[in-house]
Chain A
């Protein structure tokens, strides 16, 4: 299927998951991601897969935990309030070193918040989200094509590093339709000798577990897990750099914010301002290398976010606060405009002169 079709971002995620070999999906309705469940409900029965509308997000993530323990590719999706409910299960997946894919089509918060797009679950996603020391891989698509591509990557990374991976989308990227091609090469999932698929009388029992009452053992396992995280940080950072070569003002944002920022950067360049854009694609691991590189010419960073300023902290960490980092934001389901970002760029340009 190499022909491009117009598809909603949410549907592209669902189709890509199926292509990646995911045959088990568990969900619970919540706006703005229900298209994923609807798509799975339609497709899964026809390809011998499981679509199950669980009794709650909590149940859904634990069904995911069951399938992941049994070694098969599995996915769930939700939106912000629902992801909070899944937090417990995500922590257990991380503590048991199980691969699974979770989609968050973010909406405004906190609490019930709203249903319009937001990026205010950045902290929750990149810091783990549940209890305990752990991370999950967080991928931030900014187009429908990337929704598909990064979903497949999420399954691959989850399997490779034995941990949950999240697609951190938002109401806009989930709802928008763009051309998408599903011409992907899908790697075979690795063997999973640890899976609980029955001993068949041939081996000692496998145990999927995150409980270690011996503190020394639990400390060792945490250290081992974090050693693995270091490898991921080294190998898996992804970001798009746009006109950053000589950029004095580096605008940065992920997902929909980057799309808006890109328009503003183009306009700033047209006005003679040396502006550029860094668009993180992996939010965890955060692509700090490209920020360090941009420091060669950057006099100022502007973080464009649909939040009160969350990613900006990682930008400051990545740049070690060597130059000022300012925030350009809207929240509550409101979206910054290219004009607003352009204003921020012009202001910054004035200040660095």
Chain B
């Protein structure tokens, strides 16, 4: 099975990082993974995106054009990518930043006020991790052990407090 994820939003929302955690989790679970960011000036405050592909077989194009899973963290991203999601796919919306509803009816949609929840729990900059927790849960893919290992790969041991906070955010998402 191959699953393509697209994280989209503003630069600075941690989209690349959440993609990396997801990719590392795949790697830890012995899958083939590929992670591709948008790059250039848009990384600095404009719209940014990051595509992750996780597969049991070899991965062809690493570019995510038609995601199975979209995580939208601002309105322009939802506007741009909503139509691209494959039928039967998933859309996760940060409802504290995006007011409108998803128009499509052939995808599964989850509204999570991630930025608000993250702010209430210590850092609004970690809304991304709440959404990752939620998507893993809804995809039936939340494996606490590999999540922990993936976080360990992405956050240096010197920042144990950050690691703990990220884990908590993922759990908040999982339990939302």
Shortest Cβ distance from residue B48 to the other chain A in the assembled complex, whole angstroms? 12
**Cβ-neighbour of A259 out of B37, B60, B153 (below 8 A):** B60
Q: Is residue B33 contacting chain A, with contact meaning CB distance below 8 A?
A: yes
Are A6 and B39 touching (Cβ within 8 A)?
A: no
Are A259 and B33 touching (Cβ within 8 A)?
A: no
A148-183 at interface with B (beta carbon < 8 Å): 171-172, 175-179
Contact with B along A177-192 (1 / 0, CB 8 A): 1110000000000000
Are B60 and A172 touching (Cβ within 8 A)?
A: no
Question: Given that A263-B60, A263-B61, A335-B63 are known contacts, is A31 also in contact with B40, CB under 8 Å in the complex?
Answer: yes
Contact with A along B149-167 (1 / 0, CB 8 A): 0000100000000000000
Are B60 and A177 touching (Cβ within 8 A)?
A: no
Question: Given that A6-B27, A338-B60 are known contacts, is A176 also in contact with B40, CB under 8 Å in the complex?
Answer: no
Q: Is residue B24 contacting chain A, with contact meaning CB distance below 8 A?
A: yes
Question: Given that A176-B34, A260-B61 are known contacts, is A31 also in contact with B153, CB under 8 Å in the complex?
Answer: no
**Cβ-neighbour of B20 out of A177, A260, A337 (below 8 A):** A177
Q: Is residue A262 contacting chain B, with contact meaning CB distance below 8 A?
A: yes
**Cβ-neighbour of A4 out of B27, B58, B60, B61 (below 8 A):** B27
Contact with A along B25-37 (1 / 0, CB 8 A): 0010000111111
Are A337 and B23 touching (Cβ within 8 A)?
A: no
> Chain A interface mostly helix, strand, loop or mixed?
mixed
> Chain B interface mostly helix, strand, loop or mixed?
mixed
Which A residue sits closest to B61, measured CB to CB?
A: A260
Contact with A along B86-121 (1 / 0, CB 8 A): 000000000000000000000000000000000000
Contact with A along B7-23 (1 / 0, CB 8 A): 00000000000001001
Interface size class of B (residues with CB under 8 A): 20 to 34
Question: Given that A176-B34, A178-B62, A337-B65 are known contacts, is A6 also in contact with B40, CB under 8 Å in the complex?
Answer: no
**Cβ-neighbour of B39 out of A5, A171, A178 (below 8 A):** A171
| CA–CA, A171 and B24, complex, Å | 22
Shortest Cβ distance from residue A335 to the other chain B in the assembled complex, whole angstroms? 6
| CA–CA, A179 and B24, complex, Å | 9
Which A residue sits closest to B40, measured CB to CB?
A: A115
Q: Is residue A32 contacting chain B, with contact meaning CB distance below 8 A?
A: yes
Contact with A along B53-76 (1 / 0, CB 8 A): 000001111110100000000000
Q: Is residue A116 contacting chain B, with contact meaning CB distance below 8 A?
A: yes
Contacts of B32 in A (CB 8 A): 179
A225-261 at interface with B (beta carbon < 8 Å): 256, 259-260
Contacts of A256 in B (CB 8 A): 61-63
Q: Is residue A266 contacting chain B, with contact meaning CB distance below 8 A?
A: yes
Question: Given that A32-B39, A175-B39, A177-B34 are known contacts, is A338 also in contact with B61, CB under 8 Å in the complex?
Answer: yes
Which B residue sits closest to A257, measured CB to CB?
A: B61
| CA–CA, A291 and B97, complex, Å | 53
| CA–CA, A259 and B53, complex, Å | 13
Contacts of B60 in A (CB 8 A): 259-260, 262-263, 266, 338
| CA–CA, A171 and B36, complex, Å | 10
Shortest Cβ distance from residue B7 to the other chain A in the assembled complex, whole angstroms? 13
| CA–CA, A224 and B13, complex, Å | 58
Question: Given that A4-B27, A259-B60 are known contacts, is A178 also in contact with B40, CB under 8 Å in the complex?
Answer: no
| CA–CA, A52 and B33, complex, Å | 34
Question: Given that A6-B24, A6-B33, A31-B39 are known contacts, is A176 also in contact with B62, CB under 8 Å in the complex?
Answer: yes
Contacts of B59 in A (CB 8 A): 178, 259
Contacts of A5 in B (CB 8 A): 153
Are A175 and B37 touching (Cβ within 8 A)?
A: yes
| CA–CA, A266 and B59, complex, Å | 11
Which A residue sits closest to B51, measured CB to CB?
A: A176
| CA–CA, A338 and B34, complex, Å | 17
Contacts of B33 in A (CB 8 A): 6, 178-179
| CA–CA, A168 and B87, complex, Å | 37
Would you mind naming 25 contact pairs between A and B with Cβ atoms under 8 Å apart? A4-B27, A31-B40, A32-B40, A115-B39, A116-B40, A171-B39, A172-B36, A172-B62, A172-B63, A175-B36, A176-B34, A176-B37, A176-B62, A177-B35, A179-B32, A179-B33, A256-B63, A259-B59, A260-B61, A262-B58, A262-B61, A263-B60, A335-B63, A337-B61, A338-B60
Among all A-B residue pairs, the 6 with the closest Cβ atoms: A263-B60, A177-B35, A260-B61, A176-B36, A262-B60, A115-B40
B residues apposed to A, CB below 8 Å: 20, 23-24, 27, 32-37, 39-40, 58-63, 65, 153
Besides A115-B39, A175-B36, A176-B62, 6 more A-B contacts (Cβ < 8 Å) are: A6-B27, A172-B63, A178-B35, A179-B27, A259-B60, A338-B61
